[in-house]
Copies of this chain bind each other. A is one copy, B any other.
Amino acid sequence: MSFNKVDLSFQSCKSNYDESDVVLFSAPLDTTTSYRPGTRFAGNAIRVESIGIEWYSPYLDMDLKDHPTVDIGDLDLPMGDVESALDVIYYTAKDILEAKKLPMMVGGEHLVTYPVIKAMFEQNKDLCIIHLDAHTDLRDEFLGRALSHATVLRRCHDLLGDNRIFQFGIRSGDKHEFEWAKTHTQLRKFDLVGLEDAIEQIKDRPVYITIDLDVLDPSIFPGTGTPEPGGITYKELLGAIQAFTKLNNVVGADIVELAPMLDASNVSTVVAAKTLREMILLLHRQK
């Protein structure tokens, strides 16, 4: 008799690459984090914690085990060399897209979204972004860097242009960021009001969804570097995911900014894992 090697893939995501429609990977980058770091550990923390969570979603009435998904693990990023790390993410996303699969990324800090958008945009010039976050992330530079967790949506805007980025839940940033947003993005302060309208507006266009989990109130998600009180409840986030089902062309998604060590109760990791289950299922609805 022989034994198989340990398989700590997320939940039931144990298919091989070729047979999978959705590709899960994690990007353990937290180099530009300006406050409390630790998001690099998010991917594996979610994998291990996912053992205790049901695979069936009563919200979407779908079971993850019915949908072939591969988990290719943490990307191997050169720590301390941001540009090279972003390149690794970019080429990974590009390969996945060329294979006609949908990428589902777990951060890392929010900057990891940029290389995925870059790869997406090369294929979909019509791309829109739905962005849930506590922070604007619209600085033109931050601490001397153009590529930073605090500039990531601004860099995405460099590619996509005006009114293609829809931001919700925003409650922190510099004054000039809020000003800039008035003419360049669709920014909703504090809550998710208007999300249904935005979805109606772009439902037939290619849409990428990036969820900075700190959009949640820190009561339910303390495990993040810059918690910002006054966020949305988890039920509101579930409502948003329900609304996403009206999109007809979701081309990829990410959840970022879980720093698991900062929440000793592990609830933040459970929140991320449940959200990941829902988002993978959402991607599978596109096929």
Contact = CB atoms under 8 A, between A and B. Distances in A.
B230 A234 contact: yes
Given A38-B36, A265-B222, A2 B18 contact: yes
Interface of A: 1-9, 14, 16-18, 23, 25, 30-38, 40-41, 44-45, 47-48, 51-54, 56, 58-59, 61, 63, 70-74, 78-82, 84, 92, 95, 99, 143-145, 148, 170-175, 178, 189-190, 217-220, 222-223, 226-230, 233-235, 238, 261-267, 270-271, 274
A53 B174 CA distance: 11
A81 B145 contact: yes
A222 B47 contact: no
A121 B80 CA distance: 26
A184 to B, nearest CB: 17
A234 B229 contact: yes
**9 closest pairs, A vs B, by CB?**
A6-B73, A35-B52, A219-B219, A222-B265, A219-B220, A37-B37, A8-B8, A3-B72, A229-B234
Q: How many copies does the complex hold?
A: 6
Contacts of A1: 95, 99
17 contacts: A3-B70, A5-B70, A5-B72, A6-B8, A33-B37, A48-B48, A52-B226, A58-B172, A58-B173, A78-B144, A218-B267, A219-B220, A220-B229, A229-B267, A261-B262, A262-B265, A264-B264
A264 B222 CA distance: 10
A220 B228 CA distance: 11
B56 A174 contact: yes
Given A4-B17, A229-B234, 11 more contacts: A4-B72, A8-B44, A32-B79, A33-B37, A34-B80, A48-B48, A217-B219, A218-B267, A220-B229, A227-B270, A261-B266
B14 A79 contact: no
Contacts of A70: 3, 5
A2 B96 CA distance: 9
B80 A143 contact: yes
B72 A6 contact: yes
Contacts of A175: 56, 61, 63
A143 to B, nearest CB: 5
B143 A79 contact: yes
A17 B31 contact: no
